[in-house]
Structure 1
Amino acid sequence: MIKSSRRAPFRTVAEKMEILAEYEAAPRGAKGEVARRHNLGSSTIGRWAYARDHDEFGPGLKGNRSRYGRSAMTPNRQSAEIAKLRRELAKAQADREVLNAALESMGKAHALLEKLAESAEPEPLNDSFGTTQSPNSSPPE
């Protein structure tokens, strides 16, 4: 295969976004016609869509990411981020419910053990002489 010496024309981010919007709005059978009209391959359009969705087209004129701060999110990237955060929130809420149930069970078990400890009477101590004495009394002298 012979490579062409002709370079692809430079396109700004705005032009790329316009072509992507036109390509995505085209019906299923007309997408190839849009790509041919702009002299593009489907892989190029795919790379542009990936870059757009992964926030690689920043606010700069040439499409480079901003070095300082976060660049603006595209709608598709923002939707993906929202979906991810909703999944994380649902998981955290489920974990919290499990922990609350476990904490409630532990509280009930603690209360039951306290009642058992209060109701249990200490057994009297036997000394070596065969007499019984309470645990609080002192031994005979």
Structure 2
Amino acid sequence: MARLDASSASRAEGAPAGRRTSGGGRSAACCLECGAEYERQANREFCSNKCRKDWNNRRMKRGAELYDLYMAHRFDRANAQALGVFQAVNRMASNFRAEDAVERAGRRSWRATRTVLEERPYLRAVTTRMRMGRMGV
């Protein structure tokens, strides 16, 4: 399997990140973890089980830290503001991106936003109940 970097592989026009089409119209994909190109199969985002496990382990490790800070930011707002939690979250994201630059040749370590929202339609649900509070009359 040949490895691709951001400059050597051009995405097919309109294709989501991580997907490529070869000259023959075959569908190929770029592994989210190592960047290797592999033949596309339904619901498969990685070239191997090792890549899938490495991707998920990194996300789990990073996500656990972010989860605690975000929940404090959301539900213990006064304390979180006093401790600078939101700034800490932003610092963590910057550190994660710097790690990606060194350890992953600059490939991003998060899934496309559109993909996440399409898989979880409840995240886009519209609340129909009117909230009476600051803006209510």
TM-score, normalized by length of structure 1? 0.25
Higher strand share: 2
TM-score, normalized by length of structure 2? 0.25
Higher relative CO (CA 8 A, sep ≥ 6), structure 1 or 2?
2
Higher helix share: 1
